[in-house]
Amino acid sequence: MSKRWQVEKKKEHYYKSAKKEKYRSRASYKLLQLNKKFKIIKPRDYVVDLGAAPGGWSQVALDIAGEDGKVVAVDLQRIKPFDEENFIQITGDFTDPETIRKIEEALEWNADVVMSDASPKLTGIKDIDQLRYIDIAENALKISDMILKIGGSFVIKAFQGEGYEELLKKIKTKFKIVKTTKPPSSKKGSMEMYIIAMKKY
């Protein structure tokens, strides 16, 4: 049994499970697994999902936060709405000041959680793509500075490589607890990591 076959079987498992359980994407399982381990999102939380399309993470956040919480999803692409009234979609670039203003307006209060599973448009050139991943993560961190409440949590996807350790150091200056992990639903051979930062100073 080859390693590649095992990886493909795993990918197929989460893809099929997502279809069966009516999740928007297989990435939903990453957040479910992260939240089970770290208890990032809680009932009644206000959550901001940056780079949210197609909505897999927002869907999980809505389920956990419940009707007394709120999920604000931001992406350049339009996201198919959910039935819940406490789901707010903002179409725009989350690095744009006008988009950030809309996020603050939609929240009406500081966020309990800022999270991002966003990926850049890949070029296939490893060094360039790595810098783009780090740029997304750093911009998400800047937004968390503006909208995340004291004691809140920040979750970001990042890839190990140039800029990764520097990003981790920056996050550690802003949060009391910082963990790195790779959920079971991530591809084994991928350099993908998730940084879980809790208890913002």
Which residues, at least 6 apart from 1, have a Cβ–Cβ distance to it below 8 Å? none
pLDDT digits (tens, 9 = 90+) for 114-162: 999 998 888 889 889 899 999 999 999 999 999 999 999 999 999 999 9
- Angle, to 10 degrees, between the axis of helix 28-38 and the axis of helix 56-65? 40
pLDDT at 6: 45
How confident is the model over 67-110, as pLDDT tens digits?
Answer: 999 999 999 999 999 999 999 999 999 999 999 999 999 999 99
Both tokens assigned to 197: 């930062």
- Which is the catalytic residue, given 157, 172, 179, 188? 157
Answering whether pTM is above 0.85, one says yes
- Residue listed under structure tokens 């360039």: 128
Structural domains in the chain plus CATH codes: 28-200 (3.40.50.150)
Q: Alpha-carbon Rg of the chain, whole angstroms?
A: 16
- Residue 200 tokens, joined: 């913002």
pLDDT tens, residue by residue, 6-25: 444 455 665 566 555 567 77
3-class DSSP assignment, residue 129:
helix
Q: Does the annotation count 157 as an active-site position?
A: yes
pLDDT at 173: 98
Determine the pLDDT at residue 15: 54
pLDDT digits (tens, 9 = 90+) for 50-59: 999 999 999 9
Average pLDDT over residues 31-56: 97
Token reading at 39 = 């208890």
Closest CA to 49 of 131, 143, 182, 186: 143
Query: How confident is the model over 17-37, as a mean pLDDT?
Result: 81
Per-residue model confidence (pLDDT) at position 21 = 57
